[in-house]
Amino acid sequence: MKNDNKSNEMMKGFNDYFILALLDQHDSYGYEISKNIYEYTKGIYKIKESTLYTALQRLCTLKMIESYSGKETHGRSRTYYRITFDGKTYFSKRKIEVKDIIDSLKYFEGEGYGKD
């Protein structure tokens, strides 16, 4: 079920979560974030470049992340992103929400549904 439209639509709701999760591990740049999202979702979700950069800009505006110039590649400086204190605080709350969602989904997958 890799890259079908239904999976992509569902995964779009997690764009900010994916970005913050990756930046919580280390600073990164756009292409690397995109590549890691694809890799860590086991090919289920490939974020579109325009979607990624719109999300990065929104998170910068909300002060969840900040950008800075990094290493030069092919004669251009690469823009890196890092999570801010506000971003870490927000992400910590989101992790709890996502865990609750996963637990709920497991219930309906048969680990609890119909067993009450």
Amino acid, single-letter form, for residue 96: I
State pTM to two decimals.
0.82
DSSP for residue 44? S
Residue 113 confidence (pLDDT) above 90: no
Range of the domain at 53: 5-111
Average pLDDT, the chain: 88
In a domain, 116, yes or no: no
Q: Judge whether residue 64 has pLDDT over 50.
A: yes
Q: CB–CB of 91/24 below 8 Å?
A: yes
Q: What is the CATH number of the domain that holds 51?
A: 1.10.10.10
The answer to the question of residue 93 being in a domain is yes
- Return d(Cα 91, Cα 84) in angstroms, integer: 10
As a whole number, mean pLDDT of residues 64-76 equals: 87
DSSP secondary structure string for all residues of 63-85: TSEEEEEEEEETTEEEEEEEE-H
Question: Band of the pLDDT at 1, cuts 50, 70, 90?
Answer: very low
Q: Per-residue confidence at 112, pLDDT binned at 50, 70, 90? A: low
Mean pLDDT of 90-102: 93
Kindly state whether residue 21 falls inside one of the protein's structural domains: yes
Residue at 89 is within a domain: yes
* φ and ψ of 41, to 5 deg: -90, 10
